Every structure is written in structure tokens, then in C-alpha cells.
Amino acid sequence: MEILRTTSAMQKWSLNRKRVGQRIGLVPTMGYLHQGHMSLVQLAHERTEVVVASIFVNPIQFLPGEDLAHYPRDFERDERLCREAGVTAVFYPTPEEIYAADHSVYVDETLLSKGLCGRQRPGHFRGVATVVAKLFNLVLPDVAVFGQKDAQQSRIIQRLVRDLNFPVEIVVGPIVREPDGLAMSSRNRYLSAQERQHALSLHRALEQAEDLYRRGCRDVPVIREALEACLSVESAVKIEFIELVDNSTLEPVTTMGGAVLIALAARVGSTRLIDNIVLGA
Ligand code: PAF
């Protein structure tokens, strides 16, 4: 497995792979890898001859006061996991390598990024879209794999590819959960044992919504109330939003027709957690 640290080495590597007819799969990550990431690597392997995992904690997608400085990092462990998963190359640049000191061009998706997490984190998706566009230009992937856990991010990347004509197929991998149902996330490591128990209420709430839906309930306010009641059982869980939106436009829905994304965000202690489910897909 190769480790590439510069933009020029990365681009050269990818051009050489393309020259010999190999298709490139990209799994963009911020490191501190877990089984959720590794499942995305697996999806890339199934589609392409070579797989690149990028590990880059992207400073411009963190807002002032967010956890950039404390974001968990463990490159040695990440490297080992990538090797075990058969990753062909790891792209591991520094922030200075990615952003010139006078960097002044950004990619701004202006519709899908306004609601849900974008409301609480203005500028976050501009940072994500910008770095992903840069990664596409550096890694030149045929396929890029993102996780459904960040559902809004995945939709924005699909829109980025469509609207800027990137020749990249976007694959969205399902949420991978711990045995107790907690959606895997690098940020779970911030949770104390007790907070982790409280955090389970996100998944429980989604299960309850799914159960109501399966039993025939199509009433948005009833489903929303059930979610709210379930999340409110733990006073330690501070709800940021409960949203029922169209799965492709991310517009709020008033009826449960078509594919509906139920997206939750909540704080448990100082940790912000998100989770979601798609019903009616
Ligand atoms: O999902 C993430 O880890 C990040 O937002 C991404 C896509 C790697 C961009 O920094």
C-alpha cells in the first residue's frame, strides 16, 4: 500500500493508473476509521481495480468553536486498517498541501445545504463541497463512495457531480451500526459510558418511527411527535432537529408519500450526533 502525501504525487499516481486502464475508487475520510468506513472501502473494491482512501481533517468544514483541534486522529491505526482492507493507496496530505495560503475559490451548493445540518452549521457544506471537488481533481476517481449516515452530505455531493459535470459515479453505502444500534461515527469516542447509553435514543426513536410507518401510519405530525417523545425520555439528549424531508430534494414533507428521509441531530453532552432512516424507498 502506498502513502501519498503531496497533491502532485497523488495526481501523478492516478494518471499512471488510468494510463494502464485501471478504474479508481475513492473513499474520502477524515480518518479515525471505523467499520463504517471499511464498508465503504469494500463497496469501492467491488467496483474498481484500485482503491484510494483519503485521510484529511478538512479545516474549512469546521466552524469557529467546533472540534477541529480535538478531532480524533490516529494515523498509524488508520494505516493498518487500510492495509488490512486492501486499500491500494492512502492520500494523506497536510492542510498546507491542500490549501494555498491565499486560497480563494470555493464550491458552494446553494439549495440542499440550507436546511438540516446546514442551518446549524452555516458554511460547513461549502467546506465539504470544496474539498471533495479538490479530491476529485487530485485522485481522478471513476467511483467515489460516501456514507448514508451523512445523508445530506451525500445528496450535496450527488448534486455537485451533476451540476459541475464531474465524471464520477457516486455510491452511497448504508449506515453501519454498533451491535446496540448506535450509528458508527469517529465522534462516538467523545461519549462517556453514560452518554453512550443516552445516545442510543436516536436509533430507538428512528426504530419507533419505522414501526409506526410499517403499521400504516402516514401522519407526519404523529411520527414527529413519536420521535420527539422518544428523544425526550433522556433529559441529557438535547434535540437540534427532527426533520422529515423528501429523500432527494431534502424539502420538508407534509405527507409520507414517496421516499422520506427522517433526519435527527442531537447533542449528548458536548457531542453532536446525527442519525437517519429512509422510509418508503
Ligand atoms: O464525511 C467526511 O468524513 C467528510 O465530510 C469528507 C467527505 C471526507 C470531506 O472532508
DSSP 61-121: GSPTTSSTTT----HHHHHHHHHHTT-SEEE---HHHHS-TT--------STTSSTHHHHS
> What is the residue-wise DSSP string for 186-230?
GGGGG--HHHHHHHHHHHHHHHHHHHHHHTT--BHHHHHHHHHHH
Q: Which atom of ligand 1 is nearest to the CA of 29?
A: 8
> 144 with 44, same domain?
yes
Same domain for 114 and 253, yes or no, is no
Per-position DSSP letters for 1-20, written without gaps between them: -EEE-SHHHHHHHHHHHHHT
User: Ligand 1 in contact with 156 (CB < 6 A)?
Assistant: no
Dihedral sign of CA atoms 144, 147, 150, 152 in order? positive
Specify whether 152 is located in the same domain as 198. no
19 plus 64 within the same structural domain: yes
Nearest CA to ligand 1 atom 8: 29
Tell me how many domains the chain contains: 2
Residue 50 sits in the same domain as residue 139: yes
Whether residues 40 and 117 fall in one domain: yes
- Model-level pTM greater than 0.85? yes
Whether 191 and 149 map to the same domain: the answer is no
Q: Is 37 helix (H, G, I), strand (E, B) or coil?
A: helix
Q: Is residue 180 part of a domain?
A: no
Q: For residue 181, tell me if it sits in a domain.
A: no
Digits of tens for pLDDT over the chain (281 positions)?
Answer: 999 999 999 999 999 999 999 999 999 999 999 999 999 999 999 999 999 999 999 999 999 999 999 999 999 999 999 999 999 999 999 999 999 999 999 999 999 999 999 999 999 999 999 999 999 999 999 999 999 999 999 999 999 999 999 999 999 999 999 999 999 999 999 999 999 999 999 999 999 999 999 999 999 999 999 999 999 988 899 999 999 999 999 999 999 999 999 999 999 999 999 999 999 98
Domain that holds residue 270: 186-279
Residue written as grid cell 481533481: 137
User: In testing the pocket of ligand 1, which one of 126, 153, 185 has its CB within 8 Å of the most ligand atoms?
Assistant: 153
